[in-house]
Amino acid sequence: MSLASLCHRVLSDLRQHLYTQIITTVVVSLSIVIFAFFTLIYFNLHQFVERFGTELGLVVFLTNDIPQGKIPGLYQKLTELPGVEKVTYISSKKAFKRLENYLKGEKGVLEGIDPKFLPPSFEVRVNRAVFHLKRIRQLAEEIGNWPEVSKVQFGQEWIDRLESFLRLFRILVAVSGLLLLFTAGFVVANTIKLTVYARQEELKIMRLVGATNTFIQGPFLAEAFMQGLLGSSLAIGAIFVCYRFLQGLAASSELLRGVNIYFLPWPYTLAIITSSILFCVLGTAIAMWRFLRL
């Protein structure tokens, strides 16, 4: 079958079965909107945890008895670590002052306490582009092993909490995603099957006049390809509108100001569109194979 003949048959089919084609595309589109929306939420939460972890940076507490002469060497060592943006030394005195400022009206609590009781520390800010949460943890472990360092903090508790929430959410997304995918798959597969069954008389006649399975399947598969492509593109478009709306909401809200909302990265978008096309084409091929082998 030539390409021109295929195009002619596809166009003719589209004209004759426009309603069914629209319904199938809408079903595909709706199923993908729901799935992609969940993915968008999950992706943004994941990004938030990543960013939050790196924004906290590291606080490297030194031992109380560290000789003053070793501080510049340590400072140098920290700044030379790849991905480290800024290192600030906080002496015991400065730390004490910060504590006083923090306590404000309750300053009396600190009366009689040696200003050197707080250990000196370095505040380390890392480059977010280089450091992911996992890498920060590794860096903290590495610095923690230095003999002059007593402790390294990087908001571990917060991150652990967020991470465990994210783990739970990931399971929730995975389970709901699978359920959604299954439901969407079931609906789409049955819509396709109904489309094929509705045209089985036509298929029978084609077989009768000597059409090969490839000839019969060609336009159906091309239509399925278009349904998958159009359905998923519409869904991604709808999700983009939704993303812009959420972005506007975040910008105008006091609570959410500063919270960045990200759109699905292009590999995700591409994966959704490709899977949708594959799903439609395979669904049609399977529905037709069942019919054509009879």
Partner 1 sequence: MIFAESSTIIHLQGVTKEYPPDNIVFSNIDLEIEKGEFIFLTGPSGIGKTTLLRLLFCAEQPTSGEIWVDGVALSSLSNSQIPYLRRKIGVIFQDFKLLSDHTVFDNVALSLEVIGLNRRQSRKRVMQVLEGVGLAGKWSNYPLQLSGGEQQRVAIARAVVNRPAIVLADEPTGNLDQERTNEVMMLMEELNARGATVVFATHDDRLYENTHRRVVKLPEGKFEIS
Supply 7's token pair.
Answer: 């195009």
Element at 60 (helix H, strand E):
strand 58-62
Least distance between partner 1 and beta carbon 212 (Å) = 5
State the minimum distance, in angstroms, from the CB of residue 2 to partner 1.
Answer: 6
DSSP-assigned states of every residue in 221-285: HHHHHHHHHHHHHHHHHHHHHHHHHHHHHHHH-TTTTT----PPPHHHHHHHHHHHHHHHHHHHH
- For residues 59 and 292, which CB has a smaller minimum distance to partner 1 in the complex? 292
Q: Taking the complex as a whole, how short is the minimal distance between the CB of residue 292 and partner 1, in angstroms?
A: 9
150 or 213: CB nearest partner 1: 213
Instruction: State which of positions 213-252 bind partner 1 (CB under 8 A).
Output: 213, 215
Length of the chain: 294
Q: Which is nearer to partner 1, 68 or 214 (CB)?
A: 214
Compute the least distance from the CB of residue 208 to partner 1, in Å. Answer: 6
**What CA–CA distance (Å, rounded) separates 286 from 280?**
10
Q: Which range, of 52-60, 105-113, 156-164, 200-208, touches partner 1 by CB under 8 A?
A: 200-208
210, 254, 255, 257: which one binds partner 1 (CB under 8 A): 210
76 contributes a contact to partner 1 by CB under 8 A:
no
* DSSP class per residue in 65-111: T--GGGHHHHHHHHHTSTTEEEEEEE-HHHHHHHHHHHHGGGGGGGT
Interacting residue with partner 1 among 23, 189, 211, 229 (CB under 8 A): 211
Contact between residue 284 and residue 196 where contact means Cβ atoms under 8 Å apart = yes
Is residue 8 close enough to count as binding partner 1 by CB under 8 A? yes
For position 202 contacting partner 1 by CB under 8 A, the verdict is: yes
Which residues have a Cβ under 8 Å from the Cβ of 103 and sit 6 or more positions away? 109, 110
The residues binding partner 1 (CB under 8 A) are 1-2, 4-5, 8-9, 12, 16, 201-202, 204-213, 215, 293
